[in-house]
Structure 1
Amino acid sequence: MARANDEVEALLREYADLIAITGGDAFKARAYEKAARAVGGYPADVSTLDEDGLREIPNVGRSIADKVAEYLRTGKMAVVEERRARIPAGVRELITIPTLGPKKALRLYEDLHISSVNELAAAIESDALADLKGFGEKTQDNIRHGIELLQQAGARVPLPLALDTAEEIIAALSGVAGCRRCAYAGSLRRMRETVGDLDVLVAAARSGPFMEALCELPGTAEVIARGTKKTSVRTGKGLQVDLRVLPPKSWGAGLQYFTGSKAHNIRTRTIAVHRGLKLSEYGVFDSESGESVASRTEEEVYARLGLPWIEPTLREDRGEIEAALRGELPEVVTERDVRGDLHTHTDLTDGLASLEAMVEAAAGRGYAYYAVTDHAPDLYMQRMTDEKILAQRARLRELDGRHRRMRLLHGTELNIGPEGEVDWPDEFLAGFDLCVASLHSHFDLGRAAMTRRLVRACENPYVSVLGHPTTRLIGRRPGVDADWDEVFAVCARTGTALEVNAQPDRLDLCDEDILRARAHGVRFAVNTDAHSVPHLAQLRYGIGTAQRGWLTPDEVINTWPLTRLRRFLRKGGR
């Protein structure tokens, strides 16, 4: 279920942006950014807290707590409404462009009267920004790319929003009398990184009660179309939901058809034709007699086509049909296979929960082992020191094995510098159980320099995992430019695992990069990069991405027993 935390987080982030746009105090804007992040990652639902409870959230003082309480009580935050009124809507539209900050957006509006994304794109193409200070060729290229990212994202929404919405709808419709089955399909079932329209299926003899129930749900803001076979609505957060009610006997065929992808379905229909059959959302039929020969389950439908059941995350026509025909479909990794998380943070650096709270939550997930990897000192804003990290190690050793016998690994997330250097000398790194190394800055290096930088980091004998390798943020920042085949080959040679970062705005590596890296024989780690207790549950998004990349448990190091994992982390026996 969606939590009020997400709404409050978004509102506080907006307020921080509005402060920056109007030339407010940078420290105040930063305070609201920190509070937003803290609220989003807080374990308890903020709607259940009084003002004293709100002030217990890290980075939420009395003033911010009062504003949150106001929003929870009235649905509005007066200071946000006031700031919105002072800023033209066009400027607020401009700051949705990745790479374009609030100050530049305001400058474009005031100096050139640009108040929309389309106007800005046209201004760049006509060279109208050439004489505007601070908008040189490189800045314009960045803005142009940001506009492309925004346009590519379009009306698509992130996985968590789509999944939360789907699960709420399914819970509601499953309680309607006559419901035999209810599930989501489409790109969400295939775990695409963003979702356009949400497809929900119900198996029932009568469709009317379900169409009515969808239209009356609290989250439904608009009824787009209502019929007996299909009803479409739009939620308050802008997501279109298409509900289809199928005869129970057609459930399997309908689920297969509406899961897609389009390319996968073309292949299955072609196979059906070659077998003298016709495949539709209602079943598999004999072309001559019209008799239904399969429809109740997906397994039946695929079997009638001479195929094993194919995992939804593989249904993209990227070789899954051929692999199925050869009997070579992979048994892809699942959440149940994961024995531990190898990239997480605590409040020692930029996490929101204590070491003890994170360890307890990890144990509650049934993990056999768990790694804490707080940031190293080269990210200066984290203020890490040798003394702090060693004190954390001592405390972690005290906790080791206390929670359901879960073993604890002490690690760190190193910062990869411009030349590929990392924090701390080798003799200090030797004391860690594992080191994740990640890019956090200098994203605009040229291709050759970026490749050398990554290669050098992977060749470091103490770097076990390359964290969020491309650094992309979905819809906001592209991945860095590097010769990834060279990087993947070096990872395979040096025994450096590539991370599949489960944060839903990262999902880095993406599925296509995973497929490329697999060909080099690389190992992977599916990690949450959790900065709070709720983030640990985001593993599901990383697993979905890993499945889309065809990863098996044997290719994912954090599915291995601890003894095997430790051998890998020693990286060549060091």
Structure 2
Amino acid sequence: MARPNDEVEALLQEYADLLAITGGDAFKARAYEKAARAIGGYHEDVSTLGVRELRAVPGVGKSIAEKVDEYLRTGSVPAFEEVRARIPAGVRQLITIPTLGPKKAAVLHDELGITSVEELVEAIKQERLRDLKGFGPKTEENILHGIELMQQAGGRVLLNVAMELAEEIVAELSEVVGCQRCAYAGSLRRYRETIGDIDILAASDDSAPIMAALKNLDVAGEVIAGGEKKTSIRTTKGLQVDLRVVPLQAWGAALQYFTGSQAHNVRTREIAVHAGLKLSEYGLFDVETGELVVSETEEEVYRRLGLAWVPPTLREDRGEIEAAARGDLPRLVTEDDLRGDLHTHTDLTDGVSTLEDMLATAAERGYRYYAVTDHAPNLVMQRMSDEKMLAQRARVRELDGKYRGMRVLHGTELNIDADGEVDWPPEFLAGFDVCVASVHSSFGQSSEDMTRRLVRACENPHVNIIGHPTARLIGRRPPVDADLDEVFRACARTGTALEINSFPDRLDLRDEHILWAKRFGVKFAINSDAHSTMNLGVIGYGVGTAQRGWLTPDDVINTWPLTKLRAFLRKGSRRS
């Protein structure tokens, strides 16, 4: 179920977009955007707060707090509904197209009368957009790609949305009398970046009470199908949940079968056939006698097939079967291996939590070191200055070691400009412990220019990590066009790590790119890119993605002891 904070965040962001479409006050639109981010990352459930408490959320003033309170009490805000009513539904849909912002959507509506995605596609085919200022063939290409992304997303949701719902359902079904085991399976257990539906597996001698409990959950919108062995519901948010109940003695075989992937299961069934066995969700059976061989645990099933147990995140038929047969599957990195987080923000720029709160929460997570990396000045909206950054550095030095002995590194997230340059001159950059450099603009550059831009950033002796390297936003913005072979070579050559950004709408690098980059000898950093204390927990999604890329602790620089990490970060001295 969506958190109230997430619902309010979406509402305020929509209002900001609608203000932009209608030509409203730009300052007001930015205020609502900031408030949306602040509430989305706020640690308390906003539905439990009154106007006074809401005003304590950074970036939320009296007017916005009153509207949030009104929405939470009544389910709507007349001021928002009034703006919605002035804009055709089709135009509101336009702003959901990746790469097409509210300002361009407003131009399309005002100048060409476009009120739907279908009309927009037809206008592009007729080349009608090319007469508009700021539009051209490249813009048309980007819009069409954005529409394609939107259509591909379909009913799929981000990993965190599915995970939160699945964990809630598993917790409730586990309390049902007679439920002996309960877990989620499918693509969610494999940590795929988007999820089409949720598979839940339970073990019980009597399936009826568990099936009934699923149908009666608060999140259950409608029952799609019901039976003794399987029940499917559609949640109130539209996501399908499939529940299967098996006897406890079949648990291992069923969990292996319903975790998938299909390609992985085809390979395991082939191995079974060659051994005179049959593998199904009920167990591994002898073909000739029909006798059950093993079924209670996944480990038993894999062992009887002559394989080591394969971690779910590797089950994509990308070499894991062969490695399991040889007994040389990697020891995958886990969240417990992480000694720190090397990309985080505070309320000095676009974060919503104070430096002290971020450090306290990081220390509670057991980190041994932690980097504060607020935005640099070329991202103008953050209003960074030399003086602000130096004052933060002094405060960081004061707090170093004060939170359960956790060492605090002072860093920054630099902006890689269109030519590959970054904020601040070398002498200023030399004062940071760690520098993350990211692409935040000019996403549509040619492959040649984007490649040169990223390679040049890698060659900067003060850049330690390339943040969210492809700059994608899942379902909203495609990855930049770059020759990744050249970028990965540059990272390996210069000792620049590639980030695995754990934010669920980024997961950047993605798993295929991680596998690809690892072959070049690149090192990685799994970071949260946290903008609030709550965001620090998303790092688990980055770990799952890293596992899908076959990474071990040795591949990930923030699993290393601080002395080894500092040696890696002294990039300039290593190259001199």
Which TM-score applies when normalising by structure 2? 0.97
Partner of 1:492: 492
Query: Secondary structure of the residue that 1:370 maps to in structure 2?
Result: strand
The within-5 A match list for 1:371-520 is 371-520=371-520
The within-5 A match list for 1:539-558 is 539-558=539-558
Distance, in Å, in 1 between the alignment partners of 2:554 and 2:321 is 22
Q: Which amino acid aligns with 2:470?
A: T
Distance, in Å, in 2 between the alignment partners of 1:111 and 1:450 is 32
Q: Structure 2: state its 5+ residue gaps.
A: none
Distance, in Å, in 1 between the alignment partners of 2:431 and 2:342 is 16
The C-alpha deviation readout for 1:482-535, integer Å capped at 9, x for no partner, is 111111111111111110000111111010000000000010000001111111
Distance, in Å, in 1 between the alignment partners of 2:436 and 2:114 is 43
Distance, in Å, in 1 between the alignment partners of 2:134 and 2:567 is 52
Distance, in Å, in 1 between the alignment partners of 2:116 and 2:187 is 30
1:330 correspondence with 2:330 = yes
Partner of 1:177: 177
Distance, in Å, in 1 between the alignment partners of 2:207 and 2:135 is 57
The C-alpha deviation readout for 1:99-119, integer Å capped at 9, x for no partner, is 122343344456555443334
Structure 1 residue 186: Cα displacement: 0.7
Structure 1 residue 354: Cα displacement: 1.1
Query: Secondary structure of the residue that 1:357 maps to in structure 2?
Result: helix
**Measured at CA, do residues 112 and 384 of structure 1 come closer, stay the same or move farther in structure 2, by a change above 3 Å?**
closer
1:536 correspondence with 2:516 = no
Structure 1 residue 125: Cα displacement: 3.0
Structure 1 residue 128: Cα displacement: 5.0
Greater displacement, 143-152 / 73-82: 73-82
Distance, in Å, in 2 between the alignment partners of 1:278 and 1:94 is 51
Query: Secondary structure of the residue that 1:493 maps to in structure 2?
Result: helix
Partner of 1:213: 213
**Measured at CA, do residues 105 and 441 of structure 1 come closer, stay the same or move farther in structure 2, by a change above 3 Å?**
closer
Partner of 2:224: 224
Query: Secondary structure of the residue that 1:500 maps to in structure 2?
Result: strand
Structure 1 residue 23: Cα displacement: 2.5
Partner of 1:25: 25
Calculate percent identity across the aligned residue pairs: 71
The C-alpha deviation readout for 1:79-112, integer Å capped at 9, x for no partner, is 2233223222222222211112234334445655
Distance, in Å, in 2 between the alignment partners of 1:105 and 1:417 is 26
Partner of 1:285: 285
Greater displacement, 33-42 / 409-418: 409-418
Partner of 1:364: 364
Partner of 1:91: 91
Structure 1 residue 129: Cα displacement: 4.1
1:246 correspondence with 2:237 = no
Structure 1 residue 153: Cα displacement: 1.2
Partner of 1:152: 152
Distance, in Å, in 1 between the alignment partners of 2:529 and 2:313 is 22
Query: Secondary structure of the residue that 1:411 maps to in structure 2?
Result: strand
The C-alpha deviation readout for 1:271-307, integer Å capped at 9, x for no partner, is 1111111111111111111111111111111111111
Q: Which amino acid aligns with 1:64?
A: I
Distance, in Å, in 1 between the alignment partners of 2:85 and 2:380 is 37
Partner of 1:141: 141
**Measured at CA, do residues 167 and 520 of structure 1 come closer, stay the same or move farther in structure 2, by a change above 3 Å?**
same
Distance, in Å, in 1 between the alignment partners of 2:167 and 2:430 is 45
Partner of 1:565: 565
Structure 1 residue 239: Cα displacement: 0.9
The C-alpha deviation readout for 1:380-433, integer Å capped at 9, x for no partner, is 221212211111111111111111110111111111122111111212111111
**Measured at CA, do residues 393 and 475 of structure 1 come closer, stay the same or move farther in structure 2, by a change above 3 Å?**
same
Q: Structure 1: state its 5+ residue gaps.
A: none
Partner of 2:16: 16
Structure 1 residue 452: Cα displacement: 1.4
Distance, in Å, in 2 between the alignment partners of 1:15 and 1:449 is 36
The C-alpha deviation readout for 1:361-390, integer Å capped at 9, x for no partner, is 110100000000111111122121221111
Distance, in Å, in 2 between the alignment partners of 1:428 and 1:83 is 47
Q: Which amino acid aligns with 2:94?
A: L
**Measured at CA, do residues 460 and 113 of structure 1 come closer, stay the same or move farther in structure 2, by a change above 3 Å?**
closer
Distance, in Å, in 1 between the alignment partners of 2:352 and 2:233 is 37
Q: Which amino acid aligns with 1:279?
A: L
The within-5 A match list for 1:313-324 is 313-324=313-324
Distance, in Å, in 2 between the alignment partners of 1:3 and 1:91 is 27
The C-alpha deviation readout for 1:35-70, integer Å capped at 9, x for no partner, is 000000111111221211100001111111111111
Aligned residues: 574
Distance, in Å, in 1 between the alignment partners of 2:390 and 2:135 is 46
Q: Which amino acid aligns with 2:50?
A: D
**Measured at CA, do residues 101 and 431 of structure 1 come closer, stay the same or move farther in structure 2, by a change above 3 Å?**
closer
Query: Secondary structure of the residue that 2:92 maps to in structure 1?
Result: helix
Distance, in Å, in 1 between the alignment partners of 2:344 and 2:260 is 35
Distance, in Å, in 2 between the alignment partners of 1:282 and 1:124 is 53
Query: Secondary structure of the residue that 1:83 maps to in structure 2?
Result: helix
Q: Aligned-residue CA RMSD in angstroms?
A: 1.5
Query: Secondary structure of the residue that 2:530 maps to in structure 1?
Result: coil
Q: Which amino acid aligns with 1:225?
A: A
Distance, in Å, in 2 between the alignment partners of 1:324 and 1:158 is 30
The C-alpha deviation readout for 1:512-559, integer Å capped at 9, x for no partner, is 000000000010000001111111000011001100100000000000
**Measured at CA, do residues 360 and 91 of structure 1 come closer, stay the same or move farther in structure 2, by a change above 3 Å?**
same
**Measured at CA, do residues 380 and 106 of structure 1 come closer, stay the same or move farther in structure 2, by a change above 3 Å?**
closer
Distance, in Å, in 2 between the alignment partners of 1:111 and 1:427 is 50
**Measured at CA, do residues 212 and 10 of structure 1 come closer, stay the same or move farther in structure 2, by a change above 3 Å?**
same
Distance, in Å, in 1 between the alignment partners of 2:458 and 2:376 is 17
